[in-house]
Amino acid sequence: MIAVIAKRELVGLLRAPAGWFTLAAVQALLAWLFVVLIEDYLAVQGSLPASGSSVGVTDLIVMPVLRAGGGLLLLFAPLLTMHAIAGERRAGTLNLLLSSPISLSQIVVGKYLAAVSLLGCIWVLIGAMVICLAVASDLDTGRVAVGMLGVALLTCTGVAAGLLTSCLVPQPTAAGIVALGLLIAGWMVGTGRETDNLVAILALTTHFDRMLSGLLNSADIAYFLILNVGCLGFAIHRLDCERHSAR
């Protein structure tokens, strides 16, 4: 049943301009950044050994691309999820789902997987860009792999938060704006703070940046998993409450 919901959601996303716009915009921005970073790297490449610096392609190209990719996917996720529940509710199709023999968790997880799959296309393209670099240079594969995992977890978190606001807010656009606000706050709040600060511990960037540095810490993985499961769980709970409270 999760697959049925996910398939329908994916078809809906791909037949609406928002899905293609999101994919095209994120990929265009990343491609532009990728080219700029390669040009910058080529400009300083010759002077790096002389200065005794240990940084290379991984630091100067791959990690900035992954950081930008993670940030963009996080911010574009609400565009895909804002209609997921709020749109169904508005169109009256939520009644179709609620009267069918499927559980609320199957509905929410199905929609979550659909949005994650679509944004996963961008994740794959980011991976393809990085692999292109591996052809001509030596990459720190372990660090790149952890970084890619970080991008994936961050994207999933954006989708889960978007789904939650889509359950909480009746208007799809308002749901998208609220999700965007929450995610930007989660991204910005930890910037420039010490990592042992409570606010920094709760911030998305703290954990994401640690993964980009190549550190695979179970606490960071757990942080993202808790956020994802928490948002999805709350979304399911909210839908159930709606059956008890809705007009």
CA distance 81 to 193: 30
Stretch that binds another protein, among 22-30, 46-54, 121-129, 238-246 (CB under 8 A): 238-246
**Footprint on residues 130-189 left by another protein (CB under 8 A):** none
Q: Exposed (0-12), middle (13-18) or buried (19+): which is 199, by Cβ within 10 Å?
A: exposed
Per-residue buried b or exposed e for 110-135, using 16+ beta carbons within 10 Å of the residue's own CB: bbbbbbbbbbeebbebbbebbeebee
Does residue 93 belong to the site contacting another protein (CB under 8 A)?
yes
Query: Rounded to the nearest whole angstrom, what is the least distance from the CB of residue 82 to another protein in the complex?
Result: 16
Q: How many residues bind another protein (CB under 8 A)?
A: 24
Q: Smaller CB distance to another protein: residue 88 or 220?
A: 88
CA distance 105 to 107: 5
Q: Smaller CB distance to another protein: residue 99 or 218?
A: 99
| Helix (H) and strand (E) counts in the chain | 13, 0
The phi, psi pair for 83, rounded to 5°, reads -90, -10
Kindly tell me which residue out of 44, 91, 185, 229 binds another protein, with binding defined by CB under 8 A.
91
Kindly tell me which residue out of 29, 48, 60, 102 binds another protein, with binding defined by CB under 8 A.
102
Query: Rounded to the nearest whole angstrom, what is the least distance from the CB of residue 240 to another protein in the complex?
Result: 8
Does residue 17 belong to the site contacting another protein (CB under 8 A)?
no
Kindly tell me which residue out of 8, 117, 170, 216 binds another protein, with binding defined by CB under 8 A.
8
Tokens at residue 89, please? 């509710």
Does residue 97 belong to the site contacting another protein (CB under 8 A)?
yes
Does residue 18 belong to the site contacting another protein (CB under 8 A)?
no
Using alpha carbons, select from 139, 154, 3 the residue that is nearest to residue 74: 154
DSSP H or E stretch at residue 57: helix 57-57
Q: Smaller CB distance to another protein: residue 220 or 242?
A: 242
Stretch that binds another protein, among 9-17, 39-47, 117-125, 191-199 (CB under 8 A): 9-17
DSSP H or E stretch at residue 25: helix 17-44
CA distance 14 to 48: 45
Query: Rounded to the nearest whole angstrom, what is the least distance from the CB of residue 58 to another protein in the complex?
Result: 43
Residues near another protein, by CB under 8 A = 1, 4, 8, 11-12, 15-16, 91-103, 243-244, 246-247
